[in-house]
Amino acid sequence: MSSPLAIAAVTATLCDLLNHGLGDPDLAPLGSVSVTAIPPDRIETGNNEKNGLNLFLYQVTPNLGWRNQGLPSHDAADSRAHLSNPPLAVDLHYMLTAYGTGDFAAEVLLGRGMELLHDARVITRQDIREVLKTGANPVKIAHIQRDSQGRLAIDLADQIEQVKITPHYLSADELSKLWTAMQARYRPTMVYQVTTILIQSRRPVRSPLPVLTRGQQDSGVTSQPDLTTPESSRPALSSIRVLPATAGEQRISAEQGDTLEITGAQLDGDVVTAEFSHPLLAVPIQVKSAAGSTATRVLVALPQSHDPTKSSFAAGADTAWPAGPYTLTLRMERGGKPVQRTGVGRFTLAPRLSGAPTISGSGSTLAIAVTCFPQVWKDQASEIFIGAEPFTPKPIAGKSATLSASIAGVTPSEIPVPVTVRVDGVDSELVRNRTAQPPQFEAMQHVSLPV
């Protein structure tokens, strides 16, 4: 999702798009041309009028498709408890106005600007990254800086919705009302709607403890499929399953030291390599398949560097692998044939506590410290949960295996309270052995809160 800086980021990107397009040699006879983003009443007109296009954000409206996403966001019993961070979904409405020093100059510039936005249709993620990256840029965006939650304007490039540009053709009456409200001299104008901008907070939210059982005998719906999917004619992934390093454990998210069982078709080769991608990794991490792999089943061990006695040990793994969501692709090399790759599969790598959490201080200085692997990176969003209550860790420099947070005001408890860590939306496992009856929370991941 985007930050509150996304609106400024959209305006900056659109201005950059127009600025580059107006550098066309065909417009050289007009002389100097500028692109601005200021209110029309601040633009000089008349004898001193200059050639240029002005992009003005005159209205912001809610996006109806996303308006109720993520609601309710507060606990009915406690209005201060956040259950989710629903996105603020808005559409932006711009006036594109042309100004000219001579005959036909404004018409030429308006036509060129309309063509540029018509051809673009969308603001691509690459366009946003190019405009908002550090370095020289014709659009002045130095005021768009990191906010208090660590969010940047460039986060707009990673939001789930692509930013689209749609022209709106207003009537003479509608244009007249707009310019009357501006209290400025009318100039040729075209109106555009830019949708959708999703602004979302990163503040901590409450998270319930996992369900240990789902009813009597923990039974769910059973089904018996009678159709089989035909085998693919090219390398393809169908599923990724976690094989825990410790027998008897079951979980959805993988941990370092576990093995991934990847099933599919045409997965064999002389050398089969898994390529792991993560938003924080500049290049994918490559791991060769383990023994026992076949054309329909490939095993890949996730390396770890916290326990040298295990076969999965690889120096530096706890530092090189950030927790969070991953994408995975298999690469098959066969002698004398072109290299082949599968489609993308997805899994999550969960953090794991490497020791019991510790409580220090008292009253207003009460704090908790946890150690985990893999190490948490500086740019990762992390939270420490005591029961269902979230606490934001103190900022870290670089990478760290230790997180600490102030927990002043936490509700005292006479019985131990479970502790989990969330990194980039992925929670540490609180139940190690789900085959036990009844399942139990791991004893090490508990703390006693002073009364």
Structural domains in the chain? Answer: 6-199 (no CATH), 231-349 (2.60.40.10), 352-447 (2.60.40)
Query: Can you tell me the distance from the alpha carbon of 301 to that of 345, in angstroms, rounded to the nearest whole number?
Result: 16
Specify the residue for token string 């398949």.
Answer: 289
DSSP string, 414-429: SS-EEEEEEETTEEPP
Quote the pTM value: 0.61
Q: Please state the length of the chain.
A: 451
> Cα angle at 350 between 349 and 354, to 5 degrees?
130
Strands (DSSP E) contained in 150-270 are: 163-168, 189-199, 236-243, 259-265
Write the CB contacts of 366 (distance below 8 Å, at least 6 apart in sequence): 359, 360, 406, 407, 408, 410, 450
Query: What does each of the 451 residues of the chain score in pLDDT, given as a tens digit?
Result: 678 888 988 999 999 999 988 887 777 788 889 999 999 999 999 888 999 999 999 999 999 988 888 776 777 666 666 777 888 999 999 999 999 998 999 999 999 999 999 999 999 998 888 888 755 444 444 445 666 677 778 888 888 889 999 999 999 999 999 999 999 999 999 999 999 999 988 777 777 777 777 777 666 666 666 666 666 778 999 999 999 988 878 888 999 999 999 999 999 999 999 999 999 999 999 999 998 889 999 999 999 998 899 888 999 999 999 999 999 999 999 888 899 999 999 999 999 999 999 999 888 889 999 999 999 999 899 999 998 889 999 999 899 999 999 998 888 888 889 999 999 999 998 887 777 777 788 888 889 887 6
Q: List strand residue ranges (DSSP E) for 76-202, in order.
A: 78-82, 88-99, 122-123, 163-168, 189-199
- Cis preceding linkage at 438, omega within 30: yes
